[in-house]
């Protein structure tokens, strides 16, 4: 295990388009903007963050397994569209001992009905959503308290 606790921050499909994609829902911050704030906050807390994004479900699953092997303190997971459909991500979360905090920029419960069911959330330690980019920082603070 590293000298400092490591928090994995895993981002799913289309989050590479933050800042351009539907800013009225997701805000104007890019994923790089959010990663920079997370890195600054982690440094203040004495931790490191490993921020990654993929449009491929299998990459997210591999990184969840990697977080377990690396003895990460926690995983912040914004599974994006996979939140509502991925039994495989649900099962990967249950297969590891690393606590997973589900993160969303928007509030899925205030959106389309299909977004109100979260297979990822059902397997996660907790969920933080609806606070825009601040959701990630709140989740990081929560992860450090685990």
Please tell me the total number of residues recorded for the chain in this structure: 146
Q: Is 26 a catalytic residue?
A: yes
Among 8, 90, 104, 136, the one annotated catalytic: 104
Among 8, 26, 90, 136, the one annotated catalytic: 26
Kindly give, in sequence order, each residue whose CB lies less than 8 Å from that of residue 61, ignoring residues fewer than 6 positions away.
88, 89, 92
Closest CA to 84 of 41, 114, 61: 114
Closest CA to 96 of 130, 119, 121, 73: 73
Question: Which residues participate in catalysis according to the annotation?
Answer: 26, 104
């Amino acid at each position: 295990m590293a000298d400092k606790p490591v928090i994995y921050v895993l981002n799913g499909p289309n989050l590479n388009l933050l800042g351009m994609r539907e800013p009225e829902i997701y805000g104007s911050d890019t994923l790089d903007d959010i990663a920079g704030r997370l890195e600054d906050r982690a440094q203040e807390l004495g931790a490191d963050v490993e921020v990654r994004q993929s449009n491929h479900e299998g990459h997210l699953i591999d990184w969840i397994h990697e977080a377990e092997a690396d003895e990460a303190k926690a995983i912040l997971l914004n599974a994006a569209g996979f939140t509502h459909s991925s039994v495989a991500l649900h099962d990967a979360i249950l297969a590891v001992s690393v606590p997973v905090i589900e993160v969303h920029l928007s509030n899925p419960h205030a959106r389309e009905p299909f977004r109100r069911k979260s297979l990822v959330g059902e397997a996660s330690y907790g969920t933080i959503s609806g606070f825009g980019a601040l959701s990630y920082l709140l989740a990081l603070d929560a992860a450090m308290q685990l």
